[in-house]
Structure 1
Amino acid sequence: MVSIGNGASAVRMGIMLNNDVSKSRPSDAIDALERQVAQSAADGFSSVWLSHIFGFDALTALAVVGRNVPGIELGTAVVPTYPHHPGVLAQQALTVNAAVGGRFALGIGLSHKIVIEDMYGYSFDRPARHMREYLSVLLPLLRGEPVSFEGETLRANLELSAPPAPDMPVLIAALAPRMLKLAGAMADGTVLWMAGRKAVAEHIAPSITKAAEEAGRPAPRIVCALPVCVTDDAEAASARADQIFEIYGQLPSYRAVLEREGAERPGQVAVVGDEETVARRLDDLAAAGVTDFVASPFGSAESVARTRELLRSI
């Protein structure tokens, strides 16, 4: 019998969708994604989240598959800001939100210098100012307001005619102090990756909550996504996580949050172990201030099935 405390059961449970579609035919990949969403809704999960890296465009994919699956929140984790002008992203987000009946959560982030400069060819200069100015354009447009803005990193002078969505959650991938302050003061919260209990409890939750309070905003959502594997061999699962998620131990922003956790490798923040252990880890995250937990199941087919079953029970 799994012992589940009051913490994890009070947290909204979500699932990270698989956006690795490189070996699939286009129609098969979309159908597979829709099946993932439908199964997650049937299992009672509160939300599904899709990354926007080099697979499908997350916004387009969620609009297509979400329209056919009612009753579950659909979120991006996350869309990079630099390659998307905020006016363009607002238009896309409003379209997705209309397609899925107002169930869309827009997660955005700076991405990383290696991606923005080396791959896309944009400057990664002044990221915190860029995000502040980005939100200054994006948020009014989502509310249906015209924007005339000239900042140091971007300009905008436009108005959209798409149906406004003033209640659409906008979440920032925020780990550093300045970004957490922005997420609390201007947005609806943060969507995290590679942040464990200690980092959330001692750094993320206090910083973003204080910023929201000082700005007179509601309590922020803290959406915590982590790799999860229910298994009887926690050591092997942790080692496997180190291999799968190795890149996140090398990128500066994730390296910094791992250091706050006192972790040297991604496998040390992955939620691994048997049902009792994983349930206890989720309770700890809830107690730390997490409002939404998003599992990224990994491991063998048996482990993934055990992981989903535990999360369903919670």
Structure 2
Amino acid sequence: MRIGLAYGDVRGQRDPGVIAEQLQATSGTAWISQGPNLDALTTLAVAGEGPAEVGTAVVPFPQRHPLVLASQALTVQAATGNRLTLGIGVGISRMVDGMYGLPTDRPARRLREYLEVLRPLLRGESVDHHGDTLTAVGSVAVEGAKAPPVLVAALGPAMLRVAGELADGTITWMTGPRTLADHVVPSITKAADTPPRIVAGFAVCVTSDEDAVRARFATDFALAGQVPEYRAMLDREGVDGPADVLLAGDEDTISKRLEQLRDTGITDLMLAPVGTAAEQARTTEFLAMRPGGGRRGDPVGAT
């Protein structure tokens, strides 16, 4: 199981210079979340050398036509020496509708059609698509860029089926171990022709004051617990809110939680250190010492 670190809006980071410095100190996998502030793909393109792999987790695609996203992704590939894993998703429906005024009905159908156009474009092929939810005509070519792997943020059965059939795997966020083991892993694996990559995202804090950290997290992420997409996974897990799936505790506690998650069948962890500056530093140092945690000299596929 590989362990990567998450940066960007999920950690409240808005300074691309600071993120670039952190990325350059990372050797494993560095994931950038796409929020309403920094653009994830641009941040990766200008970050320079560092991680063996960089990934987006995730870029909502409704507001980016596949011709546009293919151009952006292939530009990042050229800029990073083909180290990108492209994570995409349909986006949180309240944001897609409320902020952009875009339709959110039939998300699985929209995802399927988008992938049917995006994957050929990433391979440099021409498309002439006139579908139910999307029209795309053209091609994209960026010198030196290879088609990146594509992962999809998928939680429900229909979305996991599409991800298994048309993508290289899935990325989850705040989805607990029981739901991963009993729902996500078997659902996407059944739909896929080859073993999919399954990246499970969590906030994490190595701390001596677990109760205080959970209380702060419950406040800071209260709205996330009301988002229908996340709420469904929290209910499936049988927990009250985001703080209940936060990885928090001392080094021994976090070690046990990581072993529990490894046993769910996931291939990767995407961990976002949270807490005070001192707690985040303690967390990052602890994770760097874990097998697959991205120490300098470790291959990206270390287990």
Q: Which of the residues 71, 82, 89 maps onto 2:69? A: 89
TM-score (norm. length: structure 2):
0.91
Task: Name the residue aligned to 1:57.
Answer: 39
The count of residues paired between Structure 1 and Structure 2 equals: 288
CA distance in 2, matches of 1:117, 1:285: 34
CA distance in 1, matches of 2:144, 2:116: 16
Task: Name the residue aligned to 1:229.
Answer: 205
Shift of 1:232: 2.0
Q: Summarize deviations over 1:88-114 as a string: whole Å, max 9, x none.
A: 101110111111000001110111221
Structure 2 matches for 1:1-314, cutoff 5 A? 11-19=1-9, 20=12, 29-41=15-27, 46-65=28-47, 68-163=48-143, 167-212=147-192, 216=193, 218-314=194-290
CA distance in 2, matches of 1:276, 1:114: 38
In structure 1, stretches of 5+ residues that fail to align are 1-10, 23-28
Q: What SS does structure 2 have at the residue aligned with 1:288?
A: coil
Asked whether the 8 Å contact 1:226–1:270 carries over to 2, the reply is: yes
Change (3 A) 1:21 1:283: closer
1:14 maps to amino acid? G
CA distance in 2, matches of 1:246, 1:230: 21
Asked whether the 8 Å contact 2:198–2:268 carries over to 1, the reply is: yes
Task: Name the residue aligned to 1:26.
Answer: none
TM-score (norm. length: structure 1):
0.88
2:250 maps to amino acid? D
1:76 maps to amino acid? T
Q: What SS does structure 2 have at the residue aligned with 1:40?
A: coil
CA distance in 2, matches of 1:70, 1:205: 30
Change (3 A) 1:71 1:255: closer
Shift of 1:161: 2.1
2:43 maps to amino acid? A
RMSD: 1.4
CA distance in 1, matches of 2:186, 2:105: 27
CA distance in 1, matches of 2:40, 2:51: 19
Asked whether the 8 Å contact 1:146–1:158 carries over to 2, the reply is: yes
Of 229-238 and 152-161, more deviation after overlay is shown by: 229-238
Shift of 1:168: 1.3
CA distance in 2, matches of 1:210, 1:288: 15
Asked whether the 8 Å contact 2:273–2:280 carries over to 1, the reply is: yes
Q: Summarize deviations over 1:180-201 as a string: whole Å, max 9, x none.
A: 1111111011111011111100
In structure 2, stretches of 5+ residues that fail to align are 291-303
How many percent identity over aligned positions? Answer: 46
CA distance in 1, matches of 2:122, 2:99: 29
CA distance in 2, matches of 1:243, 1:302: 20
Shift of 1:18: 3.2
Asked whether the 8 Å contact 2:6–2:30 carries over to 1, the reply is: yes
